[in-house]
Structure 1
């Protein structure tokens, strides 16, 4: 069982988070119609959808709301699924690919709609750029933008040649790209905290510092056991993503936790910020191990780069990420680093989410593979809809292939390290 902590890990997000009420641990027995395990985007959106429909919901969070990937990520809200529409058309056919594209648009609308409806202050800023790190990817990016316009009616993307991109992102390290005006970025922890507040206003009971350690099936429903009590519920959602190991062996075999790392600099002057990203868009590049960055509301460079595949983080996270940042922005060499942190996300082999009914009344949603700001919350919402009797979206998402990682529990880690190291080498070459 992971150690329970009572504070968010050191990060820029924790340092600028809005205040939140104390949410005491579970103490004794509780009952609900639905027990949600996990206080990130998946669990919070599921709980909110259920509570707004009149269901009694108890949400259990091992540490604090937004403590995992939902409160530590790059804050980028992308269009589409984690795999592009060409892949989805080949793997599932054009009809299903179309539905998955529509779902991704619904996912963005869900995030932005709940931000607006619940007045969540999370620094939403539209605009996201995909930067091609190799010349041959420029034509691919442009062709994909044309495909989205022609086949999916998505006209929010414009292409950027090398000079236009350099003027837009303050570096000539890339060869061209696209700007997606329908995507953007935000403060991810404040989004999670705002969703939790909305949940409680709708009647959800949230217990922090309350890990689920065992599931026991009853004649009707389940008992979710914790160190200091249990919740009895007809339905249960496993929504812990990269922190879910041990509750379901099949989920463990198909969803793999990995670590990613981010830093923020000291605040830049307005003039310095305007030389870097004058339009304040977020940027992600075409590497397999993606570099992603943006300017925060207070004009810090927030830069994410580098992964590892072990249970521990690098000793010098700031130095680890700074090396990647300076290859793109050497002009920041003398800029002070104020925050550096890591977080655990979860991937699947196909990079598509694992959304399933594991058995009657027991659901899981995990494996968002870096697309969690949009797809994690939407997956939780879709599971909640299925619990409420509308399984149309759930049925489509539950058909997405997420095969087991090879090697079983003993060998899947070293096999993943070999595979990811190869892709990282391919990025450099």
Structure 2
């Protein structure tokens, strides 16, 4: 039995069709208008806008472009915000809460229009999303949320009572849920590869395998020291997220890299896929440490992801935890093989809201908290317009103060096991209350 629980490959499933790879080495310019740190979704989106406006732009990535979260995520275009409406209202006021709620709709529409108008071949399908809930109390809250989305923003969303649940997912694990029709899925590595293609065509220069070592203010510009040499830049945009390192210590003290793990099954019979996921939707849960899962774009496999509590190496424990979660949902998959499993970093911070901010002249676009498929292109694009001085196009509710620094933290998330354990306890309490 145990031998069935080890994946064939410990690399992202997405790399089979769109492998990440280094770019041809480029000469380092002595001076550029804008230097961008990071060549993921945010950095490339910003670089595309800037290059099309005639700016000379160089993006630097310590790894292969897209090797981080941009090609390791689940490819769900949720644009979710972790704090709920009430929490955002309490912390930042109702005007901010309303603006953020509305901006999520704009950001998804922006992404879908961008894919269409640029002709990006990334397997995008607007299939909708089902959210499963635990217990009557959570169902009532979720149903009210669906009504708010429909009335306030015109988003097609509705509650799904338990007797109708199997129309969306063939499981008894949940007690109903909700559907949103404005969410879909894409192939994240193909999306990045296509974004890279159009950005390079526009004139963006991308230096892969080139680490930024330091950024120093120098008169009206910046000295950007890299592993390939130093470049002078009039402006600097930092678009690192879960892979932020010591080159930007101010940001590193504010972003916590959290491991996220994904497993993918072997190919399943067409009739099994049609029964387990009859509408081929994206799927999420209402738990603190909930899973997200979906059919692969070809409809032949199930991909399931969640938090990984490990901090070093590639242990089997987190893989088995996700497999157990998959089997809890679909008991008939008890003996299924895994074809792929991998992990990557997402960045969390104290506000849990995507962010644009400026510090000592450097602009930052970061803090996507696991929802970068939608938010990274949106925030990266707004940040580019901010650098260009296009106030209307740069307008966003996420342009405000930096996230607060985390006490006693400078890059080593020593406290994450305790945080994850707290979430697990909260989920157990929720299950207990739901079963009473």
Q: Report if TM-score (shorter chain) is over 0.5.
A: yes
- Distance in structure 2 (CA, Å) of the matches to 1:58 and 1:180: 38
Q: Which residues of structure 1 form unaligned runs of 5+?
A: 1-7
Shift of 1:110: 2.2
- Distance in structure 1 (CA, Å) of the matches to 2:396 and 2:180: 29
Partner of 1:255: 255
SS of structure 1 residue aligned to 2:308: strand
Work out whether residues 258 and 309 of structure 1, in 8 Å CA contact, stay in contact via their aligned partners in 2.
Answer: no
SS of structure 2 residue aligned to 1:305: strand
Partner of 2:327: 326
Partner of 1:4: none
Partner of 2:306: 305
Work out whether residues 130 and 179 of structure 1, in 8 Å CA contact, stay in contact via their aligned partners in 2.
Answer: yes
Shift of 1:414: 3.3
Work out whether residues 314 and 320 of structure 1, in 8 Å CA contact, stay in contact via their aligned partners in 2.
Answer: no
Work out whether residues 365 and 379 of structure 2, in 8 Å CA contact, stay in contact via their aligned partners in 1.
Answer: yes
Q: What does 1:71-86 align with in structure 2 at a 5 Å threshold?
A: 71-86=71-86
Shift of 1:328: 1.3
Work out whether residues 42 and 381 of structure 1, in 8 Å CA contact, stay in contact via their aligned partners in 2.
Answer: yes
After alignment, is 79-88 or 335-344 more displaced?
Answer: 79-88
- Distance in structure 1 (CA, Å) of the matches to 2:354 and 2:368: 5
Work out whether residues 111 and 374 of structure 2, in 8 Å CA contact, stay in contact via their aligned partners in 1.
Answer: yes
Partner of 1:147: 148
- Distance in structure 2 (CA, Å) of the matches to 1:400 and 1:166: 45
Deviations 1:330-377 (A, max 9, x none): 2111222100100111001221123211122x1112221111111122
What is the TM-score when the length of structure 2 is the normalising length? 0.90
C-alpha RMSD of matched pairs (Å): 2.2
SS of structure 2 residue aligned to 1:185: coil
What is the TM-score when the length of structure 1 is the normalising length? 0.91
With over 3 angstroms needed to count, the CA separation of the structure-2 counterparts of 1:211 and 1:231, relative to structure 1, is: same
- Distance in structure 1 (CA, Å) of the matches to 2:228 and 2:79: 42
SS of structure 2 residue aligned to 1:380: helix
With over 3 angstroms needed to count, the CA separation of the structure-2 counterparts of 1:80 and 1:284, relative to structure 1, is: closer
Q: What does 1:160-239 align with in structure 2 at a 5 Å threshold?
A: 160-239=160-239
Partner of 2:13: 12
- Distance in structure 1 (CA, Å) of the matches to 2:156 and 2:191: 24
- Distance in structure 2 (CA, Å) of the matches to 1:149 and 1:157: 6
SS of structure 1 residue aligned to 2:350: coil
Q: What does 1:103-142 align with in structure 2 at a 5 Å threshold?
A: 103-126=103-126, 127-142=128-143
Deviations 1:258-299 (A, max 9, x none): 101001111112211111111110101011112010001231
Number of aligned residue pairs: 418
- Distance in structure 2 (CA, Å) of the matches to 1:332 and 1:366: 38
Partner of 1:48: 48
Work out whether residues 317 and 340 of structure 1, in 8 Å CA contact, stay in contact via their aligned partners in 2.
Answer: no
- Distance in structure 1 (CA, Å) of the matches to 2:324 and 2:54: 50
Shift of 1:177: 0.8
- Distance in structure 2 (CA, Å) of the matches to 1:142 and 1:396: 26
SS of structure 1 residue aligned to 2:23: coil
- Distance in structure 2 (CA, Å) of the matches to 1:134 and 1:415: 30
Shift of 1:221: 1.2
Is residue 358 from structure 1 mapped to residue 353 from structure 2 by the alignment? no
Shift of 1:316: 5.6
SS of structure 2 residue aligned to 1:342: strand
Partner of 1:3: none
Shift of 1:309: 5.6
